[in-house]
Structure 1
């Protein structure tokens, strides 16, 4: 085993603090990664504060991991020392269920193993990317193309695939009108990816304060949802609405913006329950759906797509000592658009 420095939450809602953790010895099919950058995802905060339910502590968050391979097990065939790689939201699955065999490991019927706040199939807790190194089975590692700098690539491992997967599944592309609700860590990448796919893209944000950024990053239109006229003007407009916000929405209002057979897909996960009048979906044969990250093959596809189209996250690079301040700023929507930790500072 290897002792490495990390930042961990010792208990729910407690400030994160520097500590050390043990990483397992490299097994036959394992890859040891020297982490260079780790993104801060809003889901890190939800879990560290037990907003989504009881969690495992001490917790080392972080599932947007970018780094370089420093050791491989004797059975590894996909990677070698020096490769630029990433790790996203999961580090294992059962690998034999119907979904895993289809490349949908994120929907493993036995439950995938989260990169942190989970118990692995070896019975040991998993620790995430706010650390210097991580050991992961090669089948849950992806290659980061040379065309994407590692710092702006890190958020693609969660925010990128979380938006790419539903956009592809619901066929965003030429001739399709796509709205992205929320223009933050997920939303700004949703806009970039939907634009690169060829869709006509609209941002639906609470205010217009980020309008210039939205238009610069690929949006064709930008509307404030705080203005009631927005819902009147855009009624029946969109083929697909991708909601990236982690707060409860008036689902009926947003469903009214869909065309017949349109879909409202949620990738943001509020801590509170939401309500729905079913007539909002019955009228117009509309779909209310959800989507969670993507499988390993699709994550690699997303990275290759982003490299081809010059897509990376818009980031604020921070030192590890600024993590707690960054958490506060994320909750205040005061980041443009993803905090990334320089793990050399841990």
Structure 2
């Protein structure tokens, strides 16, 4: 039996819950969980904001643990090895995207917390193809958020071949943005943070930003016209997107990582006139995650976290919902 914490209704408090996972699949592994990050996607699923949640619902998709058991056809992982598991828990392994290395775009991919039980538990199961070994020198306690938030902001660097000479801005210095600043600075880019918070200016500079622009000041935005090659937006609120597009250089890109709660209102002419682009991306593939982990290891990058025990899960969710977290929350079994 697997011991977990589950909600039994939309927005319900998480309660102790046990379930029988059945026989271990031939291509699956069972992970003994040490730590599990909490993501805003867990909150969205808890409240069934996307209309796909099944109850009882066990959240958790930023998982760090060790292999407790493996299927007979699993040869790439060893019992006792420390690994991580993110948003995806399996792929079809036969479609064009999977065969091209873009597993994260597989239409038949399985999500760790959609239609199955996630990592707010003592153990979790997943297809071995979705599980990535954790480099020995990475901090296991803080590494969980890299498997969702981290790869979300790292993936565009790989997908768009962002050069180290690029001028890149980040909108929103929170759970995603604070990791993005660290990655971009280490990548070699000229990094700018957009923030409306005076308190976050010093934090953004400490995290790697070369410059900080006050989004409440229209003069600063106007002065940044035609400056950036890439803007990563991590927020879920409505902004004046046309003002940000005006800060892009010709062929620049506004890239969505956060999901705004309202429709995006964009004037097309500035896109056409300067050949600018608007795009978005999800988490990355297993190989992308592995590359990100090696990069984080090399440059000593890690998320800034607050730690709660697993039995404090409801307190942790309340803390996340408050918007006061600095900057990610991790549940720990240790």
> What's the TM-score once normalised by structure 2's chain length?
0.95
CA distance in 1: counterparts of 2:232 and 2:70, whole angstroms: 39
CA distance in 2: counterparts of 1:138 and 1:13, whole angstroms: 31
CA distance in 2: counterparts of 1:116 and 1:127, whole angstroms: 6
After superposition, the CA RMSD in angstroms is: 1.5
Moved over 6 A (4+): none
Deviation at 1:187, TM superposition (A): 0.6
- 1:15-26 correspondence to structure 2 within 5 Å: 15-26=13-24
CA distance in 2: counterparts of 1:327 and 1:129, whole angstroms: 14
What residue in structure 2 maps to residue 241 of structure 1?
231
Q: Which runs of 5+ in 2 are unaligned?
A: none
Q: Contact (CA 8 Å) 2:251, 2:276: kept in 1 or not?
A: yes
Question: Which of 128, 138, 147 is matched with 2:128 structurally?
Answer: 138
1:287 equivalent in alignment to 2:284 = no
What residue in structure 2 maps to residue 65 of structure 1?
63
Q: Contact (CA 8 Å) 2:91, 2:129: kept in 1 or not?
A: no
Deviation at 1:327, TM superposition (A): 2.7
- CA gap of 1:142–1:280, structure 2 versus 1, over 3 A, is same
Q: Secondary structure at the match of 2:243?
A: helix
CA distance in 1: counterparts of 2:54 and 2:268, whole angstroms: 37
Deviation at 1:326, TM superposition (A): 2.8
Deviation at 1:196, TM superposition (A): 1.0
- CA gap of 1:323–1:222, structure 2 versus 1, over 3 A, is farther
> What's the TM-score once normalised by structure 1's chain length?
0.92
CA distance in 2: counterparts of 1:131 and 1:279, whole angstroms: 50
CA distance in 2: counterparts of 1:76 and 1:316, whole angstroms: 34
- 1:77-88 correspondence to structure 2 within 5 Å: 77-88=75-86
CA distance in 2: counterparts of 1:8 and 1:233, whole angstroms: 50
Mean Cα displacement is larger for which, 89-98 or 156-165?
89-98
What residue in structure 1 maps to residue 165 of structure 2?
175
Deviation at 1:157, TM superposition (A): 0.3
What residue in structure 2 maps to residue 210 of structure 1?
200
CA distance in 2: counterparts of 1:34 and 1:285, whole angstroms: 49
Q: Contact (CA 8 Å) 1:196, 1:309: kept in 2 or not?
A: yes
Q: Which runs of 5+ in 1 are unaligned?
A: 119-125
Question: Which of 306, 312, 318 is matched with 2:302 structurally?
Answer: 312
Deviation at 1:242, TM superposition (A): 0.4
Count of residues in Structure 1 that have an aligned counterpart in Structure 2: 334
- CA gap of 1:86–1:253, structure 2 versus 1, over 3 A, is same
Q: Contact (CA 8 Å) 2:3, 2:19: kept in 1 or not?
A: yes
CA distance in 1: counterparts of 2:261 and 2:41, whole angstroms: 10
